[in-house]
Amino acid sequence: MDFIDTYLTELEHAVRALSRDDLQKAAEALMQAWRDDRNIWIIGDGGSAATASHVMCDFNKLTITPGKRRFRAMALTDNMPLITAWGNDASFDMVFAEQLRNFMRPGDTVLAISTSGNSPNLVKAVETAREIGGTVIALLGDKGGKLAGLADLVVRFPDPNQGRQEDGHVIMNHVIAGALKQMMNAER
């Protein structure tokens, strides 16, 4: 019982400490991408790859507002044949960067999700996004890693535990998707 109580208590503390201002800025940047008719490309590894797929689903479905154009969000984590082709033929470090070279246009947004902020394939993808002329938003763990210095906007989950950081990223997703829906409803 101690583990359960401690885990949930620490998660509660981290959620209370989560920057509402940073979440608002991320939501506003994503809303601007929608206004500018841009694509949102979502990346992550491991548990963060699963969260990337979840974010894609929620941004594309939960934000639907009658009479308004829909969000265009795509998780680059979901095309395993292309990921394994780049991983095998070039390097795993390039699995997202090379997809961005195919799909991303200047002005698009990359949403990078990472607990460490140091995954070489995410760092390469963010560097590629910057070269192409995109905006980068990063949902990170408490330290932020290299991605914290490369992203335009950063939202950190203030907890040292990787599991709770991943929980926090899912919470961030639901908060941002809900905020986007609210903003779309208010949009003229």
- What pLDDT sits at residue 188? 83
- What pLDDT sits at residue 131? 98
Short-list 62, 57, 63, 77, CA closest to 34:
63
Percent of the chain with pLDDT over 90: 98
Domains of the chain in sequence order: 2-186 (3.40.50.10490)
- What pLDDT sits at residue 122? 98
Average pLDDT, the chain: 97
Sheet of 40-44, strand order:
73-75, 40-44, 109-114, 135-140, 153-156
How far apart (Å, rounded) are the C-alpha atoms in residues 156 and 23?
Answer: 9
Q: What are 104-156's pLDDT values in tens digits? A: 999 999 999 999 999 999 999 999 999 999 999 999 999 999 999 999 999 99
Average pLDDT of span 11-24: 98
Q: What are 68-108's pLDDT values in tens digits? A: 999 999 999 999 999 999 999 999 999 999 999 999 999 99
Average pLDDT of span 2-7: 96
pTM: 0.97
